[in-house]
Amino acid sequence: MKVDGTHYRSLWWDAKKDALQIIDQRWLPHEFRTQSVVTLQDFADAIIQMRVRGAPLIGATAAYGMALAMFIDPSDAHMAQAWEFLHNTRPTAINLRWALNRCQTALLPLPVADRAGAALALAHDIANEDVEINRQIGLNGLNLIQDIAAKKPSGEPVRLLTHCNAGWIATVDWGTATSPMYHAHNAGIALHIWVDETRPRNQDALTSWELGSHGIAHTYITDNAGGHLMQHGQVDMVITGTDRTTRRGDVCNKIGTYLKALAAHDNGVPFYVALPSPTIDWTVADGVADIPIKDRGEREITYVMGRNNAGQITEVQVTPDGTHGGNPAFDVTPNRLVSGLITERGICDASEAGLTAMFPDLSG
Ligand SMILES: CSC[C@H]1O[C@H](OP(=O)(O)O)[C@H](O)[C@@H]1O
């Protein structure tokens, strides 16, 4: 999407530098910094340190990491080592495993001399496919927004709530949860987006940056305000992203999503999840029981990063010395709380029947 009028993807290949370029999201929303990703350690650091983040973007980044690994050493053994090294960075988002498995399946049958070029071409394909998948999710989600807008007085905004950043910078472009918003805005539909701060990394400061850059009205709220707004009829629909959705439609997403879904269910507010097919984990049914949720460590929650009055990006401690933090990074919303899944092929029920009917070729 656009940054100060210039179109960007969240990652791109620089043929002159012969290296992947990324937006280093740690400095957003205050500074727009890009960097080259040159070594395999750079790739791992980019994912672990959340320089790149968001399930689809993590997957695309790992595909380029595998391409680098093949340029270094295209042997079967090194491919397996690179698979493990990259997978161990942030394994909750299933797109990482999906992308690495897709690379391995495509590359293993090839002569080793052909693997490096094929791996880079595949990484480009994965990135380009992500853009089109998200564009289609946007068009399918637009129908939901249009239905809401049609029931409102002309010009009255459709009020959406989103949690965490499932925006264009969480993907290669368009975003998943934000893609319907961009399509609706581009179609002239008035919107107002409630943007949950999403502690502890405050990813919705990134969503605010995205929406502001695109001219979409939004209000940044605390994570705990969403239920109140829904109780008072201030939310027409909730749309979130997902890091891993199970074959029966349980949704693993950023911590706090489950609480939004409970509030939406209690107040009769539609709760939709934007779901690209690479984010479906067909090997798991019960998300609560079978998706491991990693604690990302206490420093993310006992400190907060921001820009001080001198314009410097810094972090400050918000808890007393000696107070320990608990920081589960994701939670799982059971499918019973999900109104529907907005995929690139259409909108389906959050159920095994719904997903297997939509993706008979993928469900196994
Ligand atoms: C389009 S996937 C976005 C998904 O990823 C985010 O997690 P993180 O920022 O930790 O990578 C969050 O769960 C979003 O919903």
What amino acid positions are annotated as catalytic residues? 243
| Residue 163 Cα: closest atom of ligand 1 | 15
Report pLDDT digits (tens) over 316-344: 999 999 999 999 999 999 999 999 999 99
CATH classification number, 2-128, choose in 1.20.120.420, 2.60.40.10, 1.10.260.40, 3.40.50.300? 1.20.120.420
Domain limits, CATH 1.20.120.420, in the chain: 2-128
First and final C-alpha spacing in the chain: 35
ipTM of the complex model: 0.93
Substitution site in 52, 137, 162, 165 for ligand 1 pocket (most atoms within 8 Å of beta carbon): 165
Q: How far apart are CA 225 and CA 229, in angstroms?
A: 6
Instruction: Give pLDDT, residue 1.
Output: 87
Instruction: Give pLDDT, residue 40.
Output: 98
Instruction: Give pLDDT, residue 215.
Output: 95
Report pLDDT digits (tens) over 130-183: 999 999 999 999 999 999 999 999 889 999 999 999 999 999 999 999 999 999
Determine if residue 254 is labeled as part of a ligand binding site.
yes
CATH of domain 138-363: 3.40.50.10470
Domain limits, CATH 3.40.50.10470, in the chain: 138-363
CB distance 206 to 196 below 8 Å:
no
Residues with CB under 6 A from ligand 1: 53-56, 164-166, 170-171, 176, 203, 240-241, 243, 253-254
Instruction: Give pLDDT, residue 276.
Output: 98
| Residue 175 Cα: closest atom of ligand 1 | 1
Report pLDDT digits (tens) over 212-232: 999 999 999 999 999 999 999
Instruction: Give pLDDT, residue 346.
Output: 98
Instruction: Give pLDDT, residue 104.
Output: 98
Instruction: Give pLDDT, residue 4.
Output: 84
- The counts of H helices and E strands in the chain are 12, 18
Q: How far apart are CA 235 and CA 238, in angstroms?
A: 7
pTM: 0.96
> Mean pLDDT, 10 residues at a time, over the chain (364 residues)?
90 95 96 96 97 97 98 98 97 96 98 98 98 98 98 95 98 98 97 97 95 96 97 98 98 98 98 98 98 94 95 95 96 98 98 98 92
Instruction: Give pLDDT, residue 155.
Output: 86
Determine if residue 253 is labeled as part of a ligand binding site.
yes
Substitution site in 98, 172, 253 for ligand 1 pocket (most atoms within 8 Å of beta carbon): 253
Q: How far apart are CA 274 and CA 23, in angstroms?
A: 23
**How are beta strands 6-7 and 2-3 bridged, if at all?**
antiparallel
Please identify which residue in the block is written with the tokens 């791109």: 12
